[in-house]
Structure 1
Amino acid sequence: MPTIPPERARLSELEPHQARQMAESFGSDPERYDRARPRYPDAMVERIVAGTPGAADVLDVGIGTGIAARQFQAAGCGVLGVEVDARMAEWSKERGLQVEVAAFEAWNPADRLFDAVVSGQAWHWVDPVAGAAKAAEALRPGGRLAVFWNAGQPPPDVAEAFSEVYRRVLPDALASRQSTTASDGYSVLCTRAADGIREVGAFGEPEEWRFDWERPYTRDEWLDQLPTTGLRAQVPPAELAEALAGIGAAIDAFGGSFTMSYTTLVVTATRTHAA
């Protein structure tokens, strides 16, 4: 069973109101979201910074709780975030991040220019063409657009145990109908992002970078992050509780922990001229 988070998989299957409900669910518990969601590889941050002239001013699209933003700050960058969810934006501002509340396509750069525009686990909520055009508007010549996603894959036996729980408890949820590997599922999002960048005509040819890494999870850590995915928006609380109990029992059967293999996929391009 792949672990493309349900909010990322097969978005085309959702009605507009369902997609909106799912997107809005992520700000319902920003503290848990920030605590439980995986970070990004330091090597990815370092490569983006090293490949961007100056790399002092970064615009983070869909900053959320600031997971990626703090990593870029640690690398010496100043970061401004744009976030459509006012609850997440407020949570981040209370922790010292600069955030403006807006949908990125409608956000006004107000003549401000940045060395890099980045977006972690959020670009699929942005129109790929309008988003690339807005990024071009906000970037200095030679600046870099980099959008990225974490795709996780548990060991095969753990994946099958999770799959059995989802098929039994949540047969109508997206999680029970995934049939591709995580990286294959995210490659669709990467293709859409790259196509949008090409269509704008303000960037060089998009590149795709890949970073492979691992993270061990205890039973409690994995159950802590599951409600931060689209499951919370897709299923009633009682069914979610039953699914969490089943997943917890499955992890217990494997000794109470497992190691997730992650691939961080990056689509990136350099701004050449105005859109």
Structure 2
Amino acid sequence: MTEESTPQSEQRRRSRSFGEVAEMYDAARLPYPDQLFDDVLAFAGPQGAPALEIGAGTGKAALAFAARGVPLTCIEPDPRMAELLSRKCADLPEATVTVTVGEFETWHPDRRYGLLYAAQAWHWIDPEVRWARAREALLCPGGAIALFWSDWHVVDAALRGGLVAAHDRHFAETFPDEFVGSRTGGPASWVRQELAADGGFEDLEQRTYTSVHERSTAGFMDLLSSHSAYRIMPGGKREALFAEVEPLVAAHGDTVRLETTTRLFLARTGP
């Protein structure tokens, strides 16, 4: 197996695909629930600031925490995403958000944090080191970790069936289930298993938030285009798939109704 075809290299390629469309990604991705941010800060308590975000992207989570008065350090490996985040934070009070281009696995801060969180990003981090590094290098004793993801599910069964059929024709492997397939629970199983197996975290909690959003055909196509599974498709195959998907949605009243499920995982390091 060549380096280019290893699972690790594929994972890295997918994780770096978002910067190609940073502006579209920022506009297309749905917001996280307001209640989630309040719940994270309540769990973290007074020592939760300043906080550290891993894989900050364009700041979908960072700006929500900053709006609640939390000073942040944001680590983002893609300089294009980091540059957009920096621009979005330019009008905030000085030192509210510090953006650093870097890799979680090798970054060395000059302090520890009371809260470490990752929004739609923790699965990109090397599983061999992510938990131990969070505990041993970045979090204070008793510090909180908060990890959250959103999955989007097409509500209408008839539209979903048409989308599944189109995806089956164009994806060589399993397509991104959170959009058009069955509800799978996302990261629920592996996050809990890995946290428990690590042995260095306690007070594990899981919370779920649901909401419904509507997207136009163009908005739905942009949302698909912001997903790594579509970003790494060969251009011709992606165009062929989208050429089927777009008229399906347009024929459905030019609207897609999406049920959004956001799962939050909380834990603390030991004293």
Is the TM value for this pair above 0.5?
yes
Aligned residues: 256
Equivalent residue for 2:42, pick from 50, 57, 72: 50
Q: Name which structure has the greater RCO, CA cutoff 8 Å, separation 6+.
A: 1
Identify the residue that residue 200 of structure 2 maps to in structure 1. 202
Give the secondary structure class of the aligned counterpart of 2:109.
Answer: coil
Residue 166 of structure 1 corresponds to which residue in structure 2? 167
The answer to whether 1:140 aligns with 2:133 is no
Change (3 A) 1:14 1:232: farther
CA spacing shift, 1:207–1:18, aligned 2, 3 Å: same
**Cα separation, 2, equivalents of 1:58 and 1:177:** 32
Aligned partner of 1:101 in structure 2 is 101
Distance 1:228 1:80 in 2: 24
Residues 61 and 176 of structure 1: CA distance in aligned 2, closer, same or farther (over 3 Å): closer
Runs of 4+ in 1 over 4 A off after TM superposition: 176-180
User: Which of 64, 67, 76 is equivalent to 1:71?
Assistant: 64
Contact 2:105–2:126 under 8 Å retained in 1: yes
1:27 aligned onto 2:19? yes
TM-score, scaled relative to structure 2: 0.86
CA distance in 1: counterparts of 2:203 and 2:9, whole angstroms: 34
The residue matched to 1:39 in structure 2 has which SS? Answer: coil
Question: What TM-score does the superposition give when structure 1 sets the normalisation length?
Answer: 0.84
1:85-128 Cα offsets, whole Å, 9 max, x none, are 22212222233342222221222122x12221110111111134
Cα gap change, 1:177 to 1:214, in 2 (>3 Å): closer
Confirm or deny that 1:18 pairs with 2:10.
yes
1:177 is displaced (CA, Å) by: 8.0
Deviation of the 1:267 alpha carbon: 1.5
State the identity %. 26
CA contact (8 A) 1:166 1:175 kept: yes
> Structure 2 unaligned runs (5+)?
90-96
Distance 2:177 2:67 in 1: 39
Q: Which amino acid in 2 is paired with 1:144?
A: A
- Look up the equivalent residue of 1:103 and give its one-letter code: E
Q: How does 1:230-269 map to 2 (within 5 A)?
A: 230-269=228-267
**Can you list the C-alpha shifts for 1:146-171, whole angstroms capped at 9, x where unaligned?**
11110111122221111121123x13
2:92 counterpart of 1:91: no
The equivalent residue for 1:6 is none
Alignment match of 1:190 (pick from 181, 188, 191): 188
Which moved further from structure 2: 155-164 or 173-182? 173-182
